[in-house]
Structure 1
């Protein structure tokens, strides 16, 4: 596609000047354009930092697996004997696991036996502790 011709201002519109001719006359991407481009990028960079900061600064909310026999509006604390029978011990964090649960049928007979299962499965849903934060980006 040919460059669009524009009338030259000095000759009263008789001589036409192409886009490439204008660039040659004005100069190409030089020091001034680089400076303007850099100044225009500064707000974008600060905006990116602002948006990305929430990933690292969000509150960490205590949570545990929602057990199969619990309803979606279950409360966070579990009785100590139920914790031992439903959640595996995570030796790396030295606490009860919040990302997996013991794989069992969770009947009254299971809880009365007092012997926890050995196999674990990943959590499908979680229950969050509302004592510190009622709502956060993590819980929503």
Structure 2
């Protein structure tokens, strides 16, 4: 098609006829361009699996480092404070007491809380993640 200025306007099909269709060279370039996008996708999605939020609680002073996540029901009220914001037992603080058998037998929880020094993680959903390591 010629316009008033003597220039020829070409449509998409005409350009393809002039340059050639999607051949071996274009396929190779397309493949090479796709390689970095694959690694970017893995990098972008890795955080979903590596930084998963794992249930946790404080490691109590009387427990060993390899303690299991669940606490006996009768000990939860005596060791962890209730967090009204999350409506669950706190996972970032514990009651400040000496945790003797007399304390547990009394049935009256301590008033003061202290922040956790270390944590016990629930391995039922995720065995290992960046958070637990």
Q: Deviations over 1:24-82 (max 9, x none)?
A: 99999999999999999997999599369728972111000000000000000001110
Q: 1:58 to 1:23 in 2, by over 3 A?
A: same
Q: Distance in 1 between matches of 2:44 and 2:11?
A: 43
1:23 offset after TM fit, Å?
A: 37
What's the TM-score, normalizing by structure 2? 0.65
Alignment-derived partner of residue 127 in structure 2 = 134
Count of aligned pairs between the two proteins: 133
Alignment-derived partner of residue 47 in structure 1 = 40
Structure 2: unaligned runs, 5 residues or longer: none
Q: 1:47 to 1:26 in 2, by over 3 A?
A: same
What's the TM-score, normalizing by structure 1? 0.62
Greater shift, 99-108 or 9-18, is seen at: 9-18
Greater shift, 14-23 or 33-42, is seen at: 14-23
Structure 1: unaligned runs, 5 residues or longer: 1-7
RMSD in angstroms over aligned alpha carbons? 9.2
